[in-house]
Amino acid sequence: MAATIIDSPIFGNIFSTDAMRAVWSDENRTAKYVAIEKALAIVQGRLGIIPREAADEIVRNCDISKIDMDQLRAQTERIGYPILGVVSQLNALCRDKLGEYCHWGATTQDITDTATVLQIREGLELVDADLRALSATLADLARRHRDTPVAGRSNLQQAIPVTFGFKMATILAAVERHRERLAQLKPRVLVGEFGGACGTLASIEHGAMATHEGLMAELELGVPAIAWHTVRDSIAEVGTFLGLVGGTLGKISMDVKLMMQTEVGEVYEPFAHGRGSSSTMPQKRNPISSCYIHAAVSVVRQHAAALMDAMIADHERSTGPWEIEWIVLPEAFCLTAGALRQARFILDGLEVDAAKMRANIDLTNGLVMSEAVMMGLGRHIGREYAHDLVYDICREAIRLNRPLLDLLAGHPEINRHLDRAALARLCDPANYLGQSGVMVDRVLARLPIRGQS
């Protein structure tokens, strides 16, 4: 019976994905154990470290379908780790005690860590595919809305106009940075472990380093310069990366939630009949995916912190910090996958109301253009004095509920320098989008460098 949100038959595909659950499943993890034992036997048989007959027999039986998972569960509960159970079952499958050569010179943590790295490799491929798809969707939104004015907001207040394409391009740039980080961290992280009891490979008298290199080549993993049993920065780096990705997804969800407010109504999550409805308020259209993203990525950030805590390990083999990774790393990946899925759903079908964006800009009776007026007037009377003058006029416009342009045009200290037509140009949001379009173009222009259209 499932007890976590990730494995829940009801919530599972809201907070995660089948593909990511499969990566971190007992079956896949155990299959990785078996694959590593197989690769080790191949390499050691080739090098003559174990008899070729034994290597062939071990390889023949290294098949996940031959592992009794119920028996493995019982063995793990008794022993405390699953590796010895796997090795014991493989040994029993082999004839003439040839299975005694299985796991030769290895230790439990070698197999466990290397299996984890193999799972991380599969998990990161799924994350990268989602980031690539997210990038393409954001690029499309940035192109289509390059010049669509929307209120830029500071401290939740309207500040100056930007464009919706600019908002999307800022997120796109972050996603591309995540993809760059991912490419950079892979050589550091996708490195196997094979060191024996305390990392020195003392149990293999001859051919230890050749076994080490051959095993990693067989598994297509990097070769570490030295054992990393209790030096866990690479695992923590993965968690930190997932936390950073989650932070960006949380930024998307936060802005969508705020822009979906009834009083704002500038964008909406995709419509589906009944989605986001209330059990008591028929008019409601709640930001469902954004809420799930917020919850998921908040937990991922805590898991990233836990992985850093797991770095504080004792001596050459630790007493507890290692197991923290077993708990939080699968959940971090699964929750990130769920958040990515929800973000893709939101952006793929995002409903953008450009007319409402413009209407919201106009709600202030032109106050949102006060900086533009201040800068234009500052050329004539000085920026600081212009700031104070425009500030006072803004307060009067609010008090009288009148258009800012009218009060500006009627002010004697202003109309001697700028006529109404000039002031109208300063008060037009379309004339104060700055370099929004240029910056959107710059972000888009960099995409082909990483192989995107």
Active site residues: 278, 317
- Tokens (6 digits) for 449: 């460098």
- Tokens (6 digits) for 211: 């076994």
**Under DSSP, is residue 153 helix (H, G, I), strand (E, B) or coil?**
strand
Query: Cα–Cα distance between 156 and 136 in angstroms, integer?
Result: 29
Please name the residue ranges forming H helices in 349-448: 354-362, 370-381, 383-400, 404-409, 412-415, 420-426, 436-445
Query: Cα–Cα distance between 30 and 46 in angstroms, integer?
Result: 24
Query: Cα–Cα distance between 190 and 177 in angstroms, integer?
Result: 20
Residue 371: burial class (beta carbons within 10 Å; 0-12, 13-18, 19+):
middle
Query: Cα–Cα distance between 271 and 4 in angstroms, integer?
Result: 28
Query: Cα–Cα distance between 324 and 320 in angstroms, integer?
Result: 7
CA angle 14, 17, 21 (to 5 degrees): 125
Query: Cα–Cα distance between 380 and 229 in angstroms, integer?
Result: 69
What is the C-alpha end-to-end distance of the chain, expressed in Å?
Answer: 45
Residue environment code for 385-424, b if the CB has 16+ CB neighbours within 10 A, otherwise e: ebbebbeebbeebeeeeebbbebbbebeebeeebeeeebe
Q: Which residues contact 225 (CB under 8 A, 6 or more apart)?
A: none
Nearest one of 220, 169, 237, 131 to 451, comparing CA atoms: 131
**How do 351-352 and 267-268 pair as beta strands?**
antiparallel
Measured CA to CA in angstroms, residue 28 lies from 31, 118, 239 at distances of 5, 10, 20
